[in-house]
Chain A
Amino acid sequence: MRRMIIGMALSLVFVAAIACSGSSDDGDAAEAPPTSTPPAARSTQPAIAPDLQDKDDSSAVASGSGPAQGGVFNTLWSDPPTLDPHLVTDGTSYGIVIEIFSGLVRLGTDTTNPFEPDLAESWSVLEGGTVYEFKLRKDLVFSNGDPVTAQDFKWSFERAAHPDTASTVAEEFLGDIVGIQDIVDGNSNSAEGIEVVDERTLRLTIDAPKAYFIAKLTYPTAFVLNKNNVESLGRNWVDEPVSTGPFTLKEYRIGQRIRLARNDNFWDRAAYLDEVVFNLAGGVAMAMYENDEIDVTGVGLADLERVQDPTEDLNKDLVEVPPSFAVSYVGFNINEAPFDDSNFRQALNHSVDKQLIADQVFSNLVKPAYGIIPPGFPGFSSDIKGLEFDPELAQDLLNQSAYADPDTRPRIILTVPGTGGSPGLTTEVVADMWRQNLGIEIEIQQVEWATYIQDLHRGRLQAWSGLSWQADYPDPQTFIDVLFRSSSAINYGGYANPQVDEYVVAAQTEQDATARVKYYNDAEQIVVSDAAWLPLWWGVDSKALVKPWVQDYTFSSLTVAKFKDVWLDK
């Protein structure tokens, strides 16, 4: 799932590379998806009238001062498990799929109002929030020229949900629509909640008013496909897909490379680039960048010093990447000794000098987290009082806890996902801080991702690290409710606090935005003070290199299609 990213400290080097190259080898450890920032005012905000943009384009050609057409953009990526939008569950696939395909709505970069119309030009919410009526854009066509109609959406949604498609997320992202669950269960082929009013009007009925429904439609599961294309080519249709996004798939060699070509039938201004080439086989990113083999790369720890040296050529290419909306942490199983004692957990929190680690080990690539919700994210509050570094207080808390005596204290095993290298410096440094400041010895156990995720699901891990939680959509619910509500499936630590439950449940139905955020912040404060976690870092990637000829390549905290705005000034 996109939500969970491997935040192994060592993979910081990696994650940084991922930030803009999307490269990672950690299997399903869906990594931070590639990001992009607010496009320049001129670009494709749907609010801007299309004719204005056309003018922009023509002037570009005429004067030569604006965006130049053409060119090939090269980047490093990892091998996507699938390019079928309906099957996407991971960040690697997501980052490519959203460049090729599209749906009714898309995520924008404005976090206060993040949902932009895409193929739908507008929508209205009716019947107290249970009916959504979408109006499609005029003259919408697929990349092969076929018209896109409301019927295509109906077919696509039903196809996504069909058991033969074997989508693992259809239930989650489309299941709110009346009738979809029946299709998923194999009892039906058609959902009554999807109504084709006319060619350009689609009406979706959901089972209850849900504020996040629109967010779910931004996920590729809700993207539109071409029925003919899918049905005529069989299960490998995705090698030659007909699509609606800014690019089309030109070549796909599994494990080797993906080439995207401009979609001239895109509803908005066509992309400037002729091609985007994703190198899927990996390699030493920095060396490839310096050798002009790729146009963008994240900066890993090992290169940070050099890149920040003003006398280095590379220094000119350095750009800041806004941190992703993610938090990495050490998780505790609240049901197991010694983590059932709040004092003990707090002692562990107070004994770790995150600022020092960030400064010295990670050259400030990471930002110490003292709360859960990352800065800049809706619902972030600077008033959350974190558990700051204070070794004396930590020692006092340890002494007050039930596990002050090292002889009777249960064994502590901290498990980290270990595929692909070492457990990560964070884990080792944190463990050593516990040792030095509190005299607490722990065992670090490294297991592969497959084992890790299984044990995590089963609640078999006593304490774990190497994970971070990435926001799916810009709402505090994705952090506080999902992670700490006692009945949440991903509350791996089994944290249960009636007060927290009460707040997050109240927030679900609260209509007033300010009051809703207040609920989440109050719950967050409880979670932090009670030390349900040891939060470590917020967003890890903050530096990247972009070749000087690359223009309008932007970074943002949410994953949005970005190559349509990029142009090369060579």
Chain B
Amino acid sequence: MTFKLSILLIPYLLFLLLWLIFSLVAVYHMIKFGFKNFTTFFTTFIFVAVSLALLAVSYSFLMQIDWDTQITIFENAFNAKLF
């Protein structure tokens, strides 16, 4: 079976979308229901900053990969079953 490596990005992007929605909900809760004080703003800022750092590191690693590469898997297993 041959497929493009970029297929792997689809579930990852779906996960990112879900993650983003839940992150926004968590930040919304902090801003809407937290006390108006330094801790609320500081922890929210740290969350956003570390999240952005994680996304940036992920992006830098993902950019090094050639996503147009064609991958073949289960070829031998498939042939062995047929013959």
Report whether chain A binds chain B: no
Enumerate chain A interface residues (CB-CB to B < 8 A).
none
